[in-house]
Amino acid sequence: MRKDITFKELKNSDYDNKSINQEIQANLIARIKAKQPVFEGLFGYEDTVVPQLKKAIIAGHHINLLGLRGQAKTKIARSMVDLLDEYMPIVKGSEINDNPYEPISKYARDLIAEMGDKTPISWVHRSERFFEKLATPDVNVADLIGDIDPIKAATLKLPYSDERVLHYGMIPRANRSIFVLNELPDLQARIQVSLFNILQEGDIQIRGFQLRMPLDIQFVFTANPEDYTNRGSIVTPLKDRIGSQIFTHYPKSIALAREITEQEAKISKEDKASILVPNLAKNLLEEVAFTARKSEYVDAKSGVSARLTISAMENLMAAAKLRLIETSSEKTTIRLVDFMSIIPSITGKIELVYEGEQEGADEVAKLLIDSAVMVQFENLFPRISKLEKEGIKTPYTDLIQWFDNNFIELNYTDTDDEFFSSLRSIKPLVALIEDHAGKLNSQDQAFCMELVLWGLTINNKLDKSENNTAYKFDSAGINQYFNRTN
């Protein structure tokens, strides 16, 4: 924290008085020239959103980030704080971060007129120059712009005609800062109108006070396209005053989606050390979200947030951690049967269309997992024929025939040795893995064993039944439901 100085000391320092746009631009250009990352942690936006952001900042525009939920709109806005100078000087005691070179409040003007070069100057860290407001229908003009404060008037014994009785709202208090207004279409149209002059001319009106306050603010708005029809819209004159509208998007590849999940999921170092997550399990988790975005049961207009896979990964790790606790083991590996634990993460993150509601949220979640399993399955193994010609052997014939006289139960709570020993006891399954997934590491090969059984059940070549603690796989047509006691 920097200590207070006088206005004279500030004038004699190397401080360069700039507007917030000039400040952000200068720091952006410096980072670009130094080949430093400008917006860290925005995976998948390097060639799309980030270049547009750079241009908008260089142009000195206010920005509207338009995209479906879970597309890092708020993260982008918050990352802009890193483009501010570390410290900014203000007239000490100012409610609205008055620039000592260009004071705009009566308090700051009077103080500088009285004290001149001896005016005390304090410093504001860039972390305190970020203001964020969620636009909800109950937000009013007083919240954003300000109002007369009768308590202040009574305390100071001032008439309501005195500017000093004003209580400034969030926007004036964000002077020389970044102000983010999330979900802009949710803001009532009459409240949006109050932003017109602030964006264009810098004027604000509070209860009849005509104030000329050239506020210096970098506005960032966020909006969801769905809101334009469901809950409201951005009024045209306001939209016209926003310099750049930038569309965000979901990650376009599994690899990028994995990076986002790994960065955002809250998993302790201890859990990462004791719980092994095979690469195929990570891919499958992301594939669930990709499948949901294309599903006929899910409302595409609402989108499928990246929070789905983040929450799902946390649930997946929690299921494995619970197994460690229950079995008193030191290490375990994520299994395909563990994916049933992510169903609550799916059902809470998707909006269903009518057909999906008819199926039921839990059933749709299971269908999404099955569809994702088949995508991963077909990336590694031959396609399973729906109709097989008699006497012609397929890669799966021996395995299917093994189940004519055998079955296998996979328990959630088995230790790794017990669980994978059961799978390895199926010799045709081991042979199939060696033929088609032999180049994978041992953890992925073990995960593939479950993947094959799952794929065969989805294609009705085997039957799968379940209870609270285990899955049972047996010959198609038998479908024996079973009960187990702990």
Q: Mark whether 258 and 243 lie in a shared domain.
A: no
Which residue do the tokens 């055998």 mark?
406
Q: How much is the average pLDDT of 285-291?
A: 97
Distance separating alpha carbons of residues 393 and 27, to the nearest angstrom: 66
Give the pLDDT of residue 211.
Answer: 65
Give the pLDDT of residue 209.
Answer: 64
Assess whether pLDDT exceeds 60 at residue 396.
yes
Q: Mark whether 113 and 191 lie in a shared domain.
A: yes
Q: Mark whether 333 and 463 lie in a shared domain.
A: yes
Assess whether pLDDT exceeds 80 at residue 477.
no
Distance separating alpha carbons of residues 291 and 370, to the nearest angstrom: 10
Give the pLDDT of residue 226.
Answer: 67
Assess whether pLDDT exceeds 60 at residue 479.
no
Number of domains in the chain: 2
Assess whether pLDDT exceeds 70 at residue 387.
no
Distance separating alpha carbons of residues 388 and 88, to the nearest angstrom: 74
Give the pLDDT of residue 485.
Answer: 37
> Coil, strand, or helix at residue 5?
strand
Are 89 and 123 in contact, with CB atoms under 8 Å apart? yes
The CA-atom distances, in angstroms, between 71 and each of 233, 307, 395 are 19, 9, 42
Distance separating alpha carbons of residues 276 and 321, to the nearest angstrom: 11
In-domain check, residue 486: no
Q: Mark whether 299 and 276 lie in a shared domain.
A: yes
Are 368 and 295 in contact, with CB atoms under 8 Å apart? yes
In-domain check, residue 167: yes
Over the stretch 144-180, which tens digit does the pLDDT of each residue have? 888 877 777 788 777 766 777 778 889 989 999 999 9
Q: Mark whether 424 and 312 lie in a shared domain.
A: yes
Range of the domain at 345: 254-475
Q: How many residues does the chain have?
A: 486
Q: Mark whether 389 and 269 lie in a shared domain.
A: yes
Q: Mark whether 85 and 119 lie in a shared domain.
A: yes
- For residue 368, which of 297, 281, 451 has the smallest C-alpha distance? 297
- For residue 346, which of 369, 329, 377, 328 has the smallest C-alpha distance? 369
Token pair for residue 252?
């376009």
Token pair for residue 355?
């057909």
Over the stretch 224-272, which tens digit does the pLDDT of each residue have? 886 554 456 888 888 888 999 999 999 999 999 999 999 999 999 999 9
Q: DSSP characters for 122-186?
A: EEEEGGGSEEEEE--TT--HHHHTEEE-HHHHHHHT--TTSGGGEEE-HHHHTTTSEEEEESGGG
Q: Mark whether 270 and 197 lie in a shared domain.
A: no
Give the pLDDT band of residue 191 (cuts 50, 70, 90).
confident
Q: Mark whether 232 and 314 lie in a shared domain.
A: no
473, β-bridge pairs: 408, 464
Q: What is the CATH number of the domain that holds 202?
A: 3.40.50.300
Instruction: Look up residue 330 and give its DSSP letter.
Output: S
Q: How much is the average pLDDT of 425-444?
A: 94
Q: Mark whether 259 and 230 lie in a shared domain.
A: no
The residue from 230, 247, 264 where one domain ends is: 247
The residue from 247, 281, 297 where one domain ends is: 247
In-domain check, residue 481: no
In-domain check, residue 344: yes
Q: DSSP characters for 456-469?
A: HHHTTSEEEEE-SS
Give the pLDDT of residue 165.
Answer: 76
In-domain check, residue 480: no
Q: Mark whether 222 and 300 lie in a shared domain.
A: no
Give the pLDDT of residue 355.
Answer: 92
Residue type, 99: N
Give the pLDDT of residue 389.
Answer: 65
In-domain check, residue 484: no
In-domain check, residue 451: yes
Give the pLDDT of residue 136.
Answer: 84
The residue from 195, 221, 247 where one domain ends is: 247
Give the pLDDT of residue 321.
Answer: 96
Distance separating alpha carbons of residues 57 and 362, to the nearest angstrom: 45
Q: Mark whether 148 and 117 lie in a shared domain.
A: yes
Question: Which residue intervals of 276-350 are DSSP H helices?
Answer: 279-294, 307-327, 343-347
Are 368 and 346 in contact, with CB atoms under 8 Å apart? yes
Over the stretch 333-353, which tens digit does the pLDDT of each residue have? 999 999 999 999 999 899 999
Distance separating alpha carbons of residues 203 and 99, to the nearest angstrom: 17
Q: DSSP characters for 185-217?
A: GGS-HHHHHTTHHHHHT-EEEETTEEEE-----
Q: Is 390 exposed, middle or buried (0-12, 13-18, 19+ CB in 10 A)?
A: exposed
Phi-psi region of 341 (alpha: psi -120 to 50; beta: other; left: phi over 0): alpha
